[in-house]
Amino acid sequence: MEETQCVIEKTDPVAGQIGAVWAHYCGYHPRAPGALSSSRKEYRLIRDRLSDGFSVDDIRHAIDGYHRSAWHQGANDRGKKYDSLELICRDLSHVQRGIEMRDNEHLQSIGQRDLQNIANAQAWLDED
Protein backbone atom coordinates (compact mmCIF):
# COMPACT_ATOMS: atom_id res chain seq x y z
CA MET A 1 0.00 0.00 0.00
CA GLU A 2 1.37 3.37 -0.99
CA GLU A 3 1.27 6.02 1.71
CA THR A 4 -0.23 9.36 0.75
CA GLN A 5 1.40 12.63 1.73
CA CYS A 6 -0.87 14.44 4.16
CA VAL A 7 -0.45 17.89 5.61
CA ILE A 8 -0.71 18.35 9.38
CA GLU A 9 -0.58 21.52 11.41
CA LYS A 10 2.61 21.56 13.48
CA THR A 11 1.16 23.28 16.58
CA ASP A 12 0.73 20.01 18.52
CA PRO A 13 3.78 18.23 20.03
CA VAL A 14 2.45 14.91 18.68
CA ALA A 15 1.58 16.33 15.26
CA GLY A 16 4.19 14.16 13.54
CA GLN A 17 2.71 11.01 15.07
CA ILE A 18 -0.81 12.09 14.18
CA GLY A 19 0.40 12.79 10.64
CA ALA A 20 1.89 9.30 10.36
CA VAL A 21 -1.42 7.71 11.36
CA TRP A 22 -3.39 9.98 9.02
CA ALA A 23 -1.05 9.20 6.11
CA HIS A 24 -1.54 5.47 6.71
CA TYR A 25 -5.32 5.92 6.70
CA CYS A 26 -5.13 8.03 3.53
CA GLY A 27 -3.36 5.10 1.87
CA TYR A 28 -6.65 3.20 2.11
CA HIS A 29 -8.76 6.26 1.33
CA PRO A 30 -7.07 8.31 -1.40
CA ARG A 31 -10.09 10.63 -1.59
CA ALA A 32 -9.71 11.61 2.06
CA PRO A 33 -8.76 15.26 2.48
CA GLY A 34 -5.00 15.67 2.31
CA ALA A 35 -4.90 18.24 5.10
CA LEU A 36 -5.86 17.30 8.64
CA SER A 37 -6.28 20.35 10.81
CA SER A 38 -6.28 20.20 14.58
CA SER A 39 -9.95 21.23 14.57
CA ARG A 40 -11.04 17.99 12.86
CA LYS A 41 -12.58 15.19 14.90
CA GLU A 42 -10.17 12.63 13.43
CA TYR A 43 -7.21 14.66 14.69
CA ARG A 44 -8.61 14.72 18.22
CA LEU A 45 -9.42 11.00 18.16
CA ILE A 46 -5.90 10.03 17.03
CA ARG A 47 -4.37 12.34 19.67
CA ASP A 48 -6.64 10.83 22.35
CA ARG A 49 -5.67 7.26 21.44
CA LEU A 50 -1.98 8.21 21.48
CA SER A 51 -2.47 9.72 24.95
CA ASP A 52 -4.17 6.47 26.01
CA GLY A 53 -0.84 4.75 25.40
CA PHE A 54 -1.32 3.32 21.93
CA SER A 55 1.66 3.76 19.62
CA VAL A 56 1.53 4.96 16.02
CA ASP A 57 2.09 1.34 14.95
CA ASP A 58 -0.77 0.14 17.18
CA ILE A 59 -3.19 2.54 15.51
CA ARG A 60 -1.85 1.65 12.06
CA HIS A 61 -2.41 -2.02 12.87
CA ALA A 62 -5.97 -1.24 13.97
CA ILE A 63 -6.58 0.54 10.66
CA ASP A 64 -5.19 -2.51 8.83
CA GLY A 65 -7.44 -4.83 10.85
CA TYR A 66 -10.62 -2.98 9.96
CA HIS A 67 -9.59 -2.88 6.30
CA ARG A 68 -8.83 -6.63 6.25
CA SER A 69 -12.13 -7.56 7.86
CA ALA A 70 -14.62 -8.72 5.24
CA TRP A 71 -17.49 -7.70 7.53
CA HIS A 72 -16.13 -4.17 7.96
CA GLN A 73 -15.56 -3.95 4.19
CA GLY A 74 -19.22 -4.52 3.37
CA ALA A 75 -19.76 -8.29 3.63
CA ASN A 76 -22.49 -7.74 6.23
CA ASP A 77 -26.28 -7.73 6.22
CA ARG A 78 -26.40 -4.04 5.25
CA GLY A 79 -23.71 -4.22 2.59
CA LYS A 80 -22.11 -1.16 4.20
CA LYS A 81 -18.46 -0.47 4.92
CA TYR A 82 -17.51 0.29 8.51
CA ASP A 83 -13.93 1.52 8.21
CA SER A 84 -13.97 5.20 9.09
CA LEU A 85 -11.18 6.58 11.21
CA GLU A 86 -13.88 7.93 13.50
CA LEU A 87 -15.02 4.35 14.18
CA ILE A 88 -11.54 2.83 14.40
CA CYS A 89 -10.29 5.44 16.90
CA ARG A 90 -13.60 5.97 18.72
CA ASP A 91 -12.31 4.47 21.96
CA LEU A 92 -9.84 2.02 23.44
CA SER A 93 -11.92 -1.05 22.64
CA HIS A 94 -12.30 -0.16 18.95
CA VAL A 95 -8.54 0.25 18.52
CA GLN A 96 -7.90 -3.00 20.39
CA ARG A 97 -10.50 -4.79 18.25
CA GLY A 98 -8.79 -3.56 15.08
CA ILE A 99 -5.40 -4.78 16.30
CA GLU A 100 -6.90 -8.16 17.13
CA MET A 101 -8.53 -8.41 13.69
CA ARG A 102 -5.18 -7.72 12.07
CA ASP A 103 -3.37 -10.21 14.28
CA ASN A 104 -6.02 -12.92 13.83
CA GLU A 105 -6.44 -12.96 10.07
CA HIS A 106 -7.69 -16.55 10.19
CA LEU A 107 -10.83 -15.24 11.93
CA GLN A 108 -11.73 -13.03 8.96
CA SER A 109 -13.65 -15.82 7.25
CA ILE A 110 -15.79 -16.34 10.37
CA GLY A 111 -18.94 -14.22 10.53
CA GLN A 112 -19.66 -11.70 13.29
CA ARG A 113 -22.48 -13.85 14.70
CA ASP A 114 -20.13 -16.85 14.85
CA LEU A 115 -17.51 -14.80 16.68
CA GLN A 116 -20.14 -13.66 19.20
CA ASN A 117 -21.26 -17.26 19.72
CA ILE A 118 -17.65 -18.31 20.30
CA ALA A 119 -17.17 -15.49 22.83
CA ASN A 120 -20.43 -16.39 24.61
CA ALA A 121 -19.45 -20.07 24.80
CA GLN A 122 -16.02 -19.18 26.16
CA ALA A 123 -17.54 -16.90 28.79
CA TRP A 124 -19.92 -19.67 29.82
CA LEU A 125 -17.03 -22.13 30.13
CA ASP A 126 -15.03 -19.63 32.19
CA GLU A 127 -17.84 -19.11 34.73
CA ASP A 128 -16.67 -21.96 36.97
- 111 falls within a domain: yes
When the pLDDT of each residue in the chain is averaged and rounded to a whole number, the result is 85
- 75 falls within a domain: yes
- 1 falls within a domain: no
Tell me the residue range of the domain where 42 lies. 7-126
- 59 falls within a domain: yes
Mean pLDDT, range 25-32, rounded to an integer:
91
Q: Tens digits of per-residue pLDDT, 77-109?
A: 899 999 999 999 999 999 999 999 998 865 555
- 101 falls within a domain: yes
Q: Is 74 left (phi over 0), alpha (psi -120 to 50) or beta?
A: left
Q: Is it the case that residue 50 has pLDDT exceeding 80?
A: yes
- 56 falls within a domain: yes
- 102 falls within a domain: yes
Mean pLDDT, range 69-76, rounded to an integer:
89
Alpha carbon of 122 to those of 4, 98, 99: distances in Å? 41, 20, 20
- 54 falls within a domain: yes
Domains: count for the chain = 1
Angle between helices 56-68 and 92-103 in degrees, nearest 10: 70
CA gap 37, 9 in Å, rounded:
6
* Residue 122 CB neighbour total at 10 angstroms: 9
> Which pLDDT belongs to residue 34?
80
